[in-house]
A = this chain, B = another copy of it.
């Protein structure tokens, strides 16, 4: 990539989930985005939330991300 050169990026908002960790929830969302979007360049965490089961344990982390990729 050369700075100053004409290009346009798009950002889309996705939510990844993981029973393990915040990082795994991020990776899960990026993995899915890699399949349907053009190559993702970076991500930004918007929100971190989660679901709690009946024992008071985290059943999953839910991470809302913006992912950015270049429009070719």
A residues within 8 Å of B by Cβ? 3-19, 21-23, 26-36, 39-45, 47-61, 64, 66-68, 71
In the bound complex, residues from chain B placing their C-beta under 8 Å from that of A66 are: 13
Number of copies: 12
20 residue pairs A–B, Cβ–Cβ below 8 Å: A3-B59, A8-B28, A11-B14, A11-B15, A13-B66, A15-B68, A22-B23, A23-B58, A27-B58, A30-B52, A32-B71, A34-B55, A36-B71, A40-B56, A41-B52, A42-B49, A43-B50, A44-B49, A45-B47, A45-B48
A50 touches B26 (CB 8 A): yes
Return the 7 tightest CB-CB contacts between A and B, nearest first: A34-B56, A8-B32, A9-B15, A45-B48, A4-B19, A11-B13, A3-B59
